[in-house]
Amino acid sequence: MYDYTEFDEAFVRNRVAQFRAQVERRIDGSLTEDEFRPLRLMNGLYLQLHAYMLRVAIPYGTLNSRKMRQLATIADRWDKGYGHFTTRQNIQFNWPKLGEVPDILEALADVGMHAIQTSGNTIRNVTADHFAGAAADEIADPRPVAELIRQWSTDHPEFQFLPRKFKIGITGSPNDRAVTRAHDIGLRMVRADDGAPGFEVIVGGGLGRTPMLGKVIRPFLPKADLLPYLEAIVSTYNLMGRRDNKFKARIKITVFENGLDTFRDEVEARFAVTRKAFSGVDQEALAGIEAHFAPPAFRKVPETAYDAAIATDDAFRDWAEKNLAAHRAPGYAIVTISLKAHGETPGDATSAQMRLIADLAERYGHDEIRISHEQNVVLPHVHKSDLPAIHAALAEAGLATANVGLLSDIIACPGMDYCALATARSIPVAQQLATHFKAIGLEEEIGQLKIKISGCINACGHHHVGHIGILGLDRAGVENYQITLGGDATEAAAIGERAGPGFAYDEIVPAIERLLRAYLQVRASREESFIEAFRRLGPQPFKAALYPGEVEQDAA
């Protein structure tokens, strides 16, 4: 894990002091809200529906126990005892008082954290595969490169006032767990014919009101050329991107309106300049960063306790089947801790739960924690012999829900319960779906399913790339929920198709039940997932289940 240098420490402390002075001027009236707004957004502070919200960066989703305990302390001291983990691998505190925000930032700086560039028209928190450095299918750990990008982009003088916000996602695996094609720039690690590592560079992805999947601008870019090429892309976008209409200002529109070939030509011309300007200094920085990411000292001990628990403990076996993933080291597993207990708010963790996770990581997990874009927490390095003890501790804290990848493992934005931009509720829909399908006993039968819910067209819940996406809108003052089908966030990325007219708040759960009962009837076997059945059959049988009255009327 990367540790702050003296420069990093001084930089963050200076930003805190600067913002403290700005907050004091806002409170005493020297700054108006219009004047203060760009200053607070540069430091991750939003004015939400009921209160301020502070978004804290968790670069590429990586934490350790010290950082997690500090987040718990902040939740207790300055919030309401919990935090909300987001699809950008950040954490949000929903109830801070304005005058206390500088103290929160100071507390973050104490453990090498900050909220810089978690908002505004700049390069946001770089996200990465939450299994990075541990996954059995990984080419290489992408986090050193993600850290290099973070250092390059933080306070970059050319990129502080881009046409719109800018998001970068990176994965080191051919199996995409970072939704790279839904990013402004997506980076997928690949190997050249001679085995040299590099990146497939994807540009122009994004969701929101105009969802688009990114296009490959470079099938293979040598690792050494990555930073100057990124600078060329962002520089080109900064010049070509529209500033007359914020709804058309994202790079996806720039690429679409100009065409990929034209955009690529401009980038390549710019790259010829930036490549010379870097002169290898970035590779020197990367070499220093890589030293921080050495793998832990993996243990070689018997797996007896794990084998015994699998053989005798049904609850443990169920959890192990759903919440563990293959690790690259023999005898180890990757543990996903679900923050989706049935009926709870997806992504929320109490301060007590944060402290427990910190304790488990410190004792059993080589002191590493990851936050996933799916709003769960990951212990990336756990020896199998320690899994029964971890499961027992999680169960006692209500964190042992065995549902990773199932219906109740829902991504949901805060929606109208918190967000000033939202037009409908997201959290109650997610809660009702989870509890309803558990109550009727269908969740296990349905199997692997990705439901994603957004409370407005900005798509913070990634509904466009859900197998089933739900978008909450306002229709004449009434909540209305549109359903999309067939989305995919993996390497086989797809934008979901809108099924038809929306449903009222009290109709959405019954509609999803009709949809999934239809799936159970038409699937080829228990092994055929919902997304596989949708691809095989197309949308028609599922639309017929959603809108049975219309189908009957058409038939008559």
- The mean per-residue pLDDT over the stretch 443-470 comes to 98
Q: Does pLDDT of 226 surpass 60?
A: yes
Q: What is the pLDDT of residue 552?
A: 47
Q: CA-based diameter of the chain, in Å?
A: 76
Q: What does the DSSP assignment read for 448-487?
A: S--EEEESSTT-TT-GGGSSEEEEEEEETTEEEEEEEES-
Mean pLDDT calculated for residue range 392-414: 98
What is the C-alpha to C-alpha distance for residues 390 and 307, in angstroms, rounded to an integer? 15
Rounded CA gap, 474 and 211, in Å? 19
Q: Cα–Cα distances in Å, from 271 out to 220, 233, 255, 328? A: 15, 8, 17, 36
The whole-number pLDDT of residue 405 equals 98
* pTM for the whole structure: 0.96
Whether 132 has a pLDDT exceeding 90, the answer reads yes
Binned at pLDDT 50, 70 and 90, residue 279 comes out as confident
> How far apart (Å, rounded) are the C-alpha atoms in residues 177 and 370?
13
pLDDT of residue 489: 98
Q: How high is the pLDDT of residue 554?
A: 46
Give the C-alpha separation, 291 to 319, whole Å: 35
**Mean pLDDT confidence for 485-495:** 98
Contact 126, 226 (CB under 8 A): no
What per-residue confidence (pLDDT) applies to 442? Answer: 98
pLDDT(555) > 80: no
- 477-497: average pLDDT: 97
Please state the rounded mean pLDDT for residues 360-375.
98
Q: What is the mean pLDDT of the chain?
A: 97
Which candidate, 356, 298, 301, places its Cα nearest to that of 327? 298
φ/ψ (deg, to 5) at 523 = -65, 150
Residue 19: pLDDT band (50, 70, 90) is very high
Q: Chain-centre distance of CA 128, in angstroms?
A: 8
Are 196 and 205 spatial neighbours (Cβ–Cβ below 8 Å)?
no
Q: Give me the pLDDT at residue 549, please.
A: 78
Give 283-316 pLDDT, tens digit per residue.
999 999 999 999 999 999 999 999 999 999 999 9
* Residues of the chain above pLDDT 90, percent: 97
> CA angle at residue 82 from 76 to 95, to 5 degrees?
80
Residue 553 confidence (pLDDT): 45
3-state secondary structure of 153: helix
